[in-house]
Amino acid sequence: MNTSSCPLSDIYSKVVYFHENPQKEVHCSKKLRKKPKYIRCKPVEEASELAAAFQKDDIEEIIEEAGDLLYYTIILLVYREIELESVCDRILAKRFSS
């Protein structure tokens, strides 16, 4: 899959850059220096907040929490050196093939 035109790919690339070139004032650089437990737990917290926003039917909060979930999932992937393309390929194979 070609993810080069995907906004998530752009975000992923930025997180990789700041992982490789840490800058203390950049949010994702700070998060990537956290302990593995934080990186592991943060997407779970954000998924819970997304579900709560969905339950409240609050569109703005759903957008906010979905963004947070995607962001912290990307942080987790970069931390574990997993390519976004691998995840996208897996989704396509698992969810969209017959």
Q: How many domains does the chain have?
A: 1
Q: Is residue 96 part of a domain?
A: no
Q: Answer yes or no: is 61 within a domain.
A: yes
Report DSSP letters for 41-73, one per residue: HHHHHHHHHHHHHHHHT-HHHHHHHHHHHHHHH
Question: How many Cα atoms occupy the beta-carbon half-sphere of 29 within 13 Å?
Answer: 9
Let me know if residue 39 belongs to a domain.
Answer: yes
Give residue-wise pLDDT tens across range 19-40: 999 998 999 899 999 999 999 9
**Residue 93, domain member (yes or no):** no
Report the predicted TM-score, pTM, of the whole model to 2 decimal places: 0.88
pLDDT tens, residue by residue, 55-98: 999 999 999 999 999 999 999 999 999 999 999 999 999 999 87
Residue found by looking up tokens 């947070």 in the block: 68
What confidence score (pLDDT) does residue 55 get? 99
Angle among Cα 25, 16, 59 to the nearest 5 degrees reads 75
Of the candidates 24, 25, 31, 28, which has an alpha carbon nearest to the alpha carbon of residue 11? 28
